[in-house]
């Protein structure tokens, strides 16, 4: 479909308004929409939000300044947005069975920053999964505030199995007596043993922070174990499997509620983004439905199927499979490293990330099934995806032909009604 055709069709929408006023920018939005619906989205951290979430994001709530919390704002005129935030908080608490929820964090990283601010002082020791094994930037990267302000000690995964080295977690905790232990990862395909982390934290007198940015959407759908009963603070994003707007949130018990709230505002953030908070409320509402629970389970079924087909095609799947939406795999047996593989796949319209692998220096591939499952793909399509991907990696398919095959597959599953 041509840009012009899209432009005409967008005429009565908000995009149509943008188009008339600023065609240069409107064309960029349309081109990105087309990219998203004509290529295969396998980035594990991405999803397609619902039109209802997009509507809240594009609403006049974006105009409202609302520093503070409902009932205690620094600005006038907050009586209506207060209702929106209370609703978001109530839905988050209900969805996750948490005593307290803060829905103001602008991103997952901001949520982690606030969690540390609530519990730690600069110079404190923190035990977290090391970055080479899938720790997030906020888990001690020297390029991030976390690595500069805290003394991070990293645990790892077993080089053979790819599973968290729980013995090492306990040993390092006993040796370093951290003030907090962080569990959570950007690339771990298995459930974490939250009860184990709680036990170690209690043994050494540490706080337990679960950074559940990835699995929280599976938790919402009852498809993965919840960290909420175990962690002092749970940090999360709202835009990954959870399928809400780009943003963060924090869950905790009542005794930390005030510290967490103050750590978000005024300590690390200013005014709340009320349009995003409203969109979070919409997403929490959607996530509480049976349809979403079915979605969350299908995400995992698809990931398991995709992992099995990728293994059958010769890739080495870390931990031998997955419990979640996320897969990491080494394409080396097909004759390519992760970085080359990502480039070749991108040329064919298959969009995914590179990631570190447990066993060494070579980089692998990280894929997720949250977005394709939202599109309506099932296990049958996962086989087709694995076949296409392996063909491209083996160099058997030329990029243009592969791109056509990818386009044929994805256009059967439009992410949004056209």
Annotated active-site residue 380? The verdict is no
> Is residue 211 annotated as part of the catalytic site, yes or no?
yes
- To ligand PLP, the closest distance from the beta carbon of 234 in angstroms equals 11
Residue closer to ligand PLP, measured from CB, 37 or 318: 318
Q: What sign for the dihedral angle of Cα 128, 152, 102, 100? A: positive
| Catalytic residue selected from 240, 243, 342, 344 | 240
- CB burial readout 194-230, b (16+ within 10 A) else e: beebbebbeebebbbbbbbbbbbbbbbbebbbbbbeb
Q: Is 45 in the site for ligand PLP (CB under 6 A)?
A: yes
Binding ligand PLP (rule: CB under 6 A), the pick from 50, 107, 141, 387 is 107
Spell out the residues 6+ positions from residue 249 whose beta carbon is closer than 8 angstroms to its own: 92, 101, 102, 103, 105, 111, 235, 236, 237, 238, 280
> Helices 338-347 and 399-411 meet at what angle, rounded to 10?
70
Choosing from 19, 78, 186, 263, the residue that interacts with ligand PLP (CB under 6 A) is 186
- Candidates 108, 221, 227, 358; binder of ligand PLP (CB under 6 A) is 108
Could you tell me which stretch among 164-172, 211-219, 327-335, 399-407 binds ligand PLP (CB under 6 A)? 211-219
**Residue facing ligand PLP at closest CB distance:** 108
Measured from the CB atom, the residue of 19 and 115 that comes closer to ligand PLP is 115
Q: How far is the CB of 3 from ligand PLP (least distance, A)?
A: 30
What is the contact mask toward ligand PLP in residues 221 to 240, using x (rule: CB under 6 A)? Answer: ----------------x---
Report the residue from 213, 256, 287, 397 that binds ligand PLP according to the rule CB under 6 A: 213
Residue 144 binding ligand PLP, by CB under 6 A: no
**Whose Cβ is closer to ligand PLP: residue 182's or residue 336's?**
182
CA 363 – CA 238 distance, rounded (Å):
28
99 is annotated as an active-site residue: no
Catalytic residue list: 65, 67, 211, 237, 240, 246
Q: Which residues bind ligand PLP (CB under 6 A)?
A: 45, 107-109, 112, 136, 138, 184-186, 211, 213-214, 237, 248
């Amino acid at each position: 479909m041509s840009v012009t055709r899209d432009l005409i069709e967008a005429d009565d929408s908000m995009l149509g308004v943008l188009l008339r006023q600023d065609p240069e920018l409107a064309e960029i939005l349309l081109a990105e929409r087309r990219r998203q619906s004509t290529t295969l989205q396998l980035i594990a951290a991405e999803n397609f939000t619902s039109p209802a979430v997009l509507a809240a994001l594009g609403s006049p709530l974006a105009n409202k300044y609302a520093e503070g919390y409902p009932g205690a704002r620094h600005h006038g005129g907050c009586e209506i947005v207060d209702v929106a935030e209370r609703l978001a908080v109530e839905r988050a608490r209900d969805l996750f069975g948490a005593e307290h929820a803060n829905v103001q964090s602008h991103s997952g990283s901001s949520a982690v920053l606030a969690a540390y601010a609530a519990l730690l002082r600069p110079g404190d020791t923190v035990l977290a999964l090391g970055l080479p094994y899938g720790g997030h930037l906020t888990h001690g990267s020297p390029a991030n505030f976390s690595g500069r302000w805290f003394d991070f000690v990293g645990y790892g995964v077993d080089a053979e199995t790819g599973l968290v080295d729980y013995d090492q977690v306990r040993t390092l905790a006993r040796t370093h007596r951290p003030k907090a232990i962080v569990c959570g990862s950007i690339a771990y395909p298995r459930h974490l043993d939250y009860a184990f982390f709680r036990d170690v934290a209690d043994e050494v007198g540490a706080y337990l922070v679960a950074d559940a940015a990835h699995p929280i959407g599976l938790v919402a759908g009852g498809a993965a174990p919840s960290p909420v009963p175990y962690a002092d603070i749970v940090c999360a994003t709202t835009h990954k499997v959870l399928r809400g707007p780009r943003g963060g949130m924090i869950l905790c018990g009542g005794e930390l509620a005030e510290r967490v709230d103050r750590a978000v505002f005024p300590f690390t953030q200013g005014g709340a983004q009320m349009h995003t908070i409203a969109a979070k409320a919409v997403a929490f509402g959607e996530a509480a439905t049976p349809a979403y629970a079915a979605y969350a389970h299908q995400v995992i079924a698809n990931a398991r199927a995709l992992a099995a087909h990728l293994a059958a095609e010769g890739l080495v799947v870390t931990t031998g499979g997955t419990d979640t939406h996320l897969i990491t795999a080494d394409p080396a047996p097909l004759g390519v490293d992760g970085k080359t593989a990502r480039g070749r796949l991108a040329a064919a319209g298959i969009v995914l990330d590179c990631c570190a692998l447990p066993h060494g220096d070579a980089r692998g591939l990280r894929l997720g099934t949250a977005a394709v499952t939202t599109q309506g793909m099932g296990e049958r399509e996962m086989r087709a995806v694995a076949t296409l991907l392996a063909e491209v990696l083996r160099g058997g398919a030329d990029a243009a032909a592969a791109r056509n095959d990818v386009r044929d597959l994805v256009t059967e599953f439009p992410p949004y009604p056209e």
